[in-house]
Structure 1
Amino acid sequence: MGTKKKEKEAGKIIHMKKFLVYSDPFKGNIIPTLGISEKLAQMGHEVHYIGVPDVTDSISKTSFSYTTVFEEYYPRGIKHEAGKINARVITSIINGDFDELMKNHNPSAIIFTAYNPIEAVTFYLRYKIKTGLVYCHFPIGNDFSKNSFTDKVKEWSADMLMKDVNVEAVNILIDFLIQQGFKITSLKDVLSVFDGFYNLMTSSKDFLKEDAVERNNDLYIGPCIPEQDIFDSYYDTSALKKELSEQKEAGKKILYCSLGSWADEIDKEKTQMIISTILQTMQHDLLENYVLYISVGNLYDNYVHYNSDKIAVHRWLPQMAFLKQTEIAILHGGMGGIKESIMNGTPMIVFPLGLDQFENANRVEANGLGAKITAHSLNVETLASKINEIQNNKDIKLNLIKMKTSFEQASQNISHMVSLY
């Protein structure tokens, strides 16, 4: 018996793989990588993070090891600009600044968030390591019936490479490609490197209602919602749960609202109009037994005076804790909130503000998971009626159960991902 156990443990060690994860600093992108990393760790694999200080400060609150890089280029709290390539970062990778780390960890593969495609290409060329790109949301404005995820990352990367601000980094990359034996006659040759990458979509294919071209290297890997809560750790969630429990015991129905941490940057005027209408709607007769908990982020000072026995205005709220308790989630349509709502069986009302949110709102509606309301059609009567309608819609609850099951089944593809590496 003891011998068999040792053989089993020895087998586990033999099959253990090591993964590096290189994440960008945006909160909504770090979270899914943690979900993937937890799954890998549960399967017996080793995960080590690489990131700038704003990334590794977050990872330091988890169980994962990490290496902080490029602190001189990206000091803590710096405003990160998506789409800008730092030529010094590209040079650093080419010059072998990661040689010691790669020697120490000897990884089977490295996983990048898709916001770092050029860094991923450079790393791949330098170390010839299997590479995955994590899509934390569906690409924006893509015709999936004609284009795969690989096509989309090429499109993103071409846009980056064509920017005047990235000329220095592009020239460095092209010189390196030529040194590696690539014949560069067009931008297409530069982007051909992506054909060998694995594309990891943190969703279920069923959520994507459009017909989609799939390549062998495209994998839908489920919601990737981590168990470790690194962003809401400063909340007393036990006190909040008790408060919500008391509200329900008093016969109240809970509404949760968050328009995201970027709402005021995407469209501040539209965001303020939506928030004001939501607050006014709470006085409607149809919502007599409802209580609203709303997170307004940087706009907190504008709305704190609305606090009452029916409205609780907060700067930020621990979303997962609320989604377990709330009747309806009012969201902006980012994939993070949508996935968390699906996995908690929470119906949604989505007010898209920008980015991928319009397409996600359409998918929520098409899949019967809730409703979409555009800013121009929003008014108190419409919102109150929609809340009442969704609250009593049994089909939405059933659709949420089906979609949750689909997401859970997609999660099993992480095992397939490991086999590819």
Structure 2
Amino acid sequence: LCFCSLLFPAAVCCVSRAAGLIHVFGYKGRNVNVSCPYNEGYESYEKYLCNDPCRNKDVLTRSQKHQNKYSTYDDKTSRIFTVTISDLRLDDAGKYWCGVTRKGLIDLYTEVKLEVKEDRCCDTVNQTQSTEEGSVTISCPYDSQSVNKLKFFCRGNRPSTCLQQAVITSSNTQDGRFRLSDDRKSGIFTVTISSLTLKDSGSYLCGVQRNSGFDVFTAVELEVKELESYNISGIEGRPVTLQCPNSGQQHDNRKFLCKGDQHNNCTDMMENQTKFKLLNVSSSCFSVIITELEAADAGTYYCGSDSQLRFIKIQLAVVSLHQTSSVAPTSTGEQVTSQPSSLPPPSHNHVSLFYILPAVFVLLLILTFVLLLVLKYKSRIKQGTFIQIIHSH
């Protein structure tokens, strides 16, 4: 205990009991709660929060009062006096004191240390890419002291709201398109996002919750590229070649060709090596030949390598033999078109015109010939009449 003049009842020099240090952390522009516990018997006493050194002019707010950016709430059941400081500034950081007024006695004080930092992250941002309709796995490292801590993943770059707006956490490892796995031995948790869309591009934060202090974050920037696609048409019973990208430098990585409406839920076709044959493999692309097309082979295909960075979507249409009269086949017997739909069969109108047009042309030639003969005949008649007139004179 120490004693001083009662003229300064709120002077820190007169702390009669320091109930430990309260450490508070907040982000610029956000709010922070300073929670000050007190002992039983002081429920009805006035409480306050002040700046260091806590003279009368340093008092910021008192219980049951709201002063500018400070608001208070005294929970007398839990015996916790809480001051909310709104719209934090960097210069709000520093030392404060929670006080309990005791008339005629020295006030009770608890030291508060407030830290404030910018609400953004981070100086280093990890860049990652993937393709529309594909998936991506994002790695989030953490230190050995965070093995048992809560991990979470959110969109944006605001640490202050990341946990509240998390799309997935280590306590709920599967949520729609998001899945979280925690490898505690390596100190890395991963987040996999499936069925990517172009709207998934943007900033993300990997977070680890701390019991005291600021949560720890790493930043990720995800770019989702538009899925390349093309349409191809082949003739039933003949082969067709599909061109696929190879995203790796190694030629021995597994290539895939699968059929289905979704890339992440399609049937592997490469198991049938008799009908689907792999050839022309290079570091940038490879080909798959479907040896004998059937009507059931029409549909949506995806092909690429194991890497999720490059694959394409192919729409295959199969044309029956009687539909190919108006389309010239390639040298390999394949039929390629820019349209996914089957080619239409020739109509009866087209067949009729095939015979009518030559007949009309011949008729026009005959009429022209007759017209020339008539004109020549008239010309001779006029010439004969002219000669007779001359002889008569």
TM range, normalised to the smaller chain? Answer: under 0.3
More helix by share: 1
Q: Which has the higher contact order (CA 8 A, sep 6+)?
A: 1
Structure with max Cα Rg: 2
TM-score, normalised relative to structure 2: 0.21
More strand by share: 2
